[in-house]
Amino acid sequence: MSADHTPLVFSGMQPTGNLHLGNYLGAMRNWLKLQSSYRCVYCVVDLHAMTMEFDPQQLAKASREVAAAYIASGVDPQRSVIFVQSGNSDHAELAWIFNCVARVGWLNRMTQFKDKAGKNSEKMSVGLYTYPVLMAADILGYRATHVPVGDDQKQHVELARDIAQKFNNDFAAPGFFPLPEPIITGPATRVMSLRDGKAKMSKSDPSDYSRINLADDADTIALKFRKAKTDPHPLPESEAELEGRPEAANLIAIYAAFQEKSRQAVIDEFRGAQFSMLKNALADLVVAKLSPIADEMRRLLGDQAELDRQLREGANKARAISGPIMEEVRRVVGIGR
């Protein structure tokens, strides 16, 4: 078995509500760039969305919306594989096999479970606990070598590496599964809430003012930036002065990411100015970037039959990659027929 794997990019997003600026800047923008150099597989992870309370009536709709957001943002179904996770049952089967590889101690260290469960861990679903194992199956089921994600998913990709390594040691050969690398790059790998610069921008924040959704209209975007929390000082003159000013750092990072500039270049542009200047410029910039995406999303969702056809085609392509890998996996663990 060769340890050299053909590079393959895999990533996914949960259909649990609106995609927001954090998803876009932290992950999706890197997905788009990778399409020109790598084989890319981008998944709407509906099985992951079942790990917390969910509404079955909404799940299929939310999955279509996320798929439409991928395509509207520039993920090209001709170049990249786009599909819904449940459309390829290899994910669930490999997750079970990996449940028998991963150790309880490894999962006990996952900070996202602790964050999501809080004091209620006993009442959480077992699915939420083993969520990172399903994520490892998503990645390794395609022998993916690169995983573009936001900063919050780093620990999960590291767990996928640990699972790959243990599987290789216990059942197969050193190169059977690649050890996937997270790709976490850009000035906005961790976009923060607009209401609290110390909290991550998140779909689950009860305040819609905490985030900019990809589907927000121009007035809503401008209003959310206007209401964004700031501090009483003028904008800084240097990166060092951002220390202890999380809200300023966040707005500057968002601006830098959209302009494809460094944080220092943005600081140079706004040094000493009032926050309102930056907020107005941000609103204009973000509206200009996001409104064509929102329009295209609406257009794609208007033709559900065509979107579903593209997703079925994507699932067929996904199975064509994972199928032969799963046959090898079954054989090495002794369940192949």
Is residue 91 part of the contact set for ligand TYM (CB under 6 A)? no
Angle at 10 between CA 96 and CA 103, to 5 degrees: 35
Is residue 23 part of the contact set for ligand TYM (CB under 6 A)? yes
* Beta carbons within 8 Å of 306's beta carbon, 6+ residues apart: 300
* Beta carbons within 8 Å of 330's beta carbon, 6+ residues apart: 336, 337
Backbone torsions φ then ψ of 294, nearest 5 degrees = -65, -40
Stretch that binds ligand TYM, among 145-153, 218-226, 265-273, 298-306 (CB under 6 A): 145-153
Which of 9, 14, 83, 315: binder of ligand TYM (CB under 6 A)? Answer: 14
In the shown chain, the binding pattern of residues 185 to 204 toward ligand TYM, with x for contact by CB under 6 A and - for none, equals ----xxx--------xx---
Which of 46, 65, 90, 152: binder of ligand TYM (CB under 6 A)? Answer: 152
Is residue 13 part of the contact set for ligand TYM (CB under 6 A)? yes
| Cα separation, 87 vs 331, whole angstroms | 23
Catalytic residue among 33, 154, 166, 203: 203
Is residue 251 part of the contact set for ligand TYM (CB under 6 A)? no
Is residue 26 part of the contact set for ligand TYM (CB under 6 A)? yes
Stretch that binds ligand TYM, among 21-29, 117-125, 252-260, 315-323 (CB under 6 A): 21-29
| Alpha-carbon separation of residue 327 from 13, 43, 54, 263, 331 (angstroms) | 27, 21, 33, 48, 6
To ligand TYM, the closest distance from the beta carbon of 86 in angstroms equals: 13
Alpha-carbon torsion 321, 325, 327, 329, what sign? negative
To ligand TYM, the closest distance from the beta carbon of 263 in angstroms equals: 15
| Cα separation, 86 vs 231, whole angstroms | 45
Q: Segment 44-73, which members bind ligand TYM (CB under 6 A)?
A: 45, 48
Alpha-carbon torsion 137, 141, 146, 147, what sign? negative
Concatenate the DSSP letters of all residues of 208-238 into one string: GGG--BTT--HHHHHHHHHHS---SSPPPSS
Q: What is the DSSP letter of 24?
A: I
- Is 227 designated active site? no
Is residue 182 part of the contact set for ligand TYM (CB under 6 A)? no
Is residue 278 part of the contact set for ligand TYM (CB under 6 A)? no
Is residue 255 part of the contact set for ligand TYM (CB under 6 A)? no
Is residue 149 part of the contact set for ligand TYM (CB under 6 A)? yes
To ligand TYM, the closest distance from the beta carbon of 302 in angstroms equals: 24
Is residue 138 part of the contact set for ligand TYM (CB under 6 A)? yes
| Cα separation, 188 vs 258, whole angstroms | 9
To ligand TYM, the closest distance from the beta carbon of 138 in angstroms equals: 4
To ligand TYM, the closest distance from the beta carbon of 321 in angstroms equals: 14
| Cα separation, 137 vs 12, whole angstroms | 12
- Is 203 designated active site? yes
| Nearest residue to ligand TYM, scored by beta-carbon proximity | 26
Backbone torsions φ then ψ of 61, nearest 5 degrees = -65, -45
Rule CB under 6 A: which residues touch ligand TYM?
10-14, 22-23, 26-27, 45, 48, 135, 138-139, 147, 149-150, 152-153, 156, 189-191, 200-201
Point out the residues that are catalytic: 116, 200, 203
